[in-house]
Copies of this chain bind each other. A is one copy, B any other.
Amino acid sequence: MRLEDARVSIVGLGLIGGSLALGLRERCSRLVGIDSSRAARLWAAERAGLDEVTADLADGLSGCDLALLAVPVNSILKILERLGHDLPSPRFVLDVGSTKRRIVESMNRLPQGIHAVAGHPLGGKETSGPSGAEAALFRGRLFALVPTERTSPEAMDLSQQVVAALGAESWITDAVDHDRRVACTGQLPFVLAVSLMAVGARRAGTDNGLWDAAASGFLGTSRLAASGVPMMRDILLTNREQVLEAVRDAKDWLGDFADRLANQDVVWIETQLSEQRNLRRSLVAPPATIERAHENHDLWPGA
């Protein structure tokens, strides 16, 4: 099926669902938005140019070819259980939840005739709600597509058309690899950001001016702590084992670091700082030559 001929219903018009709505309008034959929040429906009606906006899940899904599920992971799981029972049976289903194992297991139990792919557009923003939605939110990004026992070739093809329409790049993978990887690249950064805020909050209790000293470095590192709570709670709980492993790795590294700093182990500290600096810089465009040249400018000669 061609995306441009498909009637698409988006369940959930938050940051992600709202961005899907903006990115897919005029790319499919009919676009319906479904959200229980009046503010989100208002936004969608005024700003997203959808063909229809409703609070009723059954109404919004009826007659659609493709259901895009863009609510927190536990809500996706609950909706999947109801498809083909007290909710309609869309021919195609694609979700955009950030953890995939539990969703794949649930999709495997869908009634025959519902063709489902588990998806996840990597990246996002630390805001929640549709006011931060952008048509280009997924542009240039990886979009994980995980086949399930209900994934037909046609379902995968349609999902890839959605990915392409959003300007993203398909990454076909399995749930275990996906969940292990995002525990490190997606959930650990969030947990570290929250830990930074928690440490700051405790100190701010006895130091009124603490936040005055929070400059760009602090704000950038803690940015993800502003993420939506229901979304992140569901992600952490549905990827518990992998998140635990990543968080414990970070905790152990911080313990090592504290021991080395307490013992003034300058060689270990310099080695770690250099390795991670080089690695971090390699993840973006390489710095100009003059910066590299300056890199070794350390102690003042003779000083």
Chain A interface (Cβ < 8 Å from any Cβ of B) = 11-12, 14, 35-40, 42-43, 57, 71-72, 74-75, 78-79, 82, 122-132, 141-142, 171, 177, 180-182, 184-186, 188-203, 207, 209-230, 232-233, 236-237, 240, 243-244, 246-251, 253-255, 257-258, 261-262, 264, 266, 269-270, 272-277, 279-281, 283-284, 287-295, 297-303
Contacts and interface: CB of A to CB of B under 8 A. Distances in A.
30 contacts: A14-B294, A39-B289, A42-B290, A72-B298, A75-B298, A78-B303, A122-B213, A123-B215, A123-B216, A126-B217, A128-B294, A129-B290, A141-B215, A142-B215, A184-B210, A184-B213, A185-B200, A189-B217, A190-B217, A195-B250, A197-B280, A211-B283, A220-B224, A226-B280, A229-B295, A237-B266, A244-B258, A247-B258, A247-B261, A251-B251
Nearest to A211: B283
A203 B184 contact: yes
Given A228-B295, A237-B266, A250 B303 contact: no
A157 B262 CA distance: 38
A91 to B, nearest CB: 20
Given A184-B203, A270-B229, A264 B277 contact: no
Contacts of A195: 192, 250, 253-254, 257
Contact of A299 (B75, B171, B295, B302): B75
A129 to B, nearest CB: 3
B251 A291 contact: no
Contacts of A229: 270, 273-274, 277, 295
Nearest to A197: B276
A272 B217 contact: no
A249 B220 CA distance: 20
A237 to B, nearest CB: 7
A142 B212 contact: yes
State the main secondary structure of chain A at its contact with B: helix
Contact of A36 (B79, B186, B300): B300
Contact of A303 (B75, B248, B257): B75
B270 A233 contact: yes
A210 B222 CA distance: 22
Choose among A82, A124, A185, A289 the residue with the greatest number of B CB atoms under 10 Å from its CB.
A185
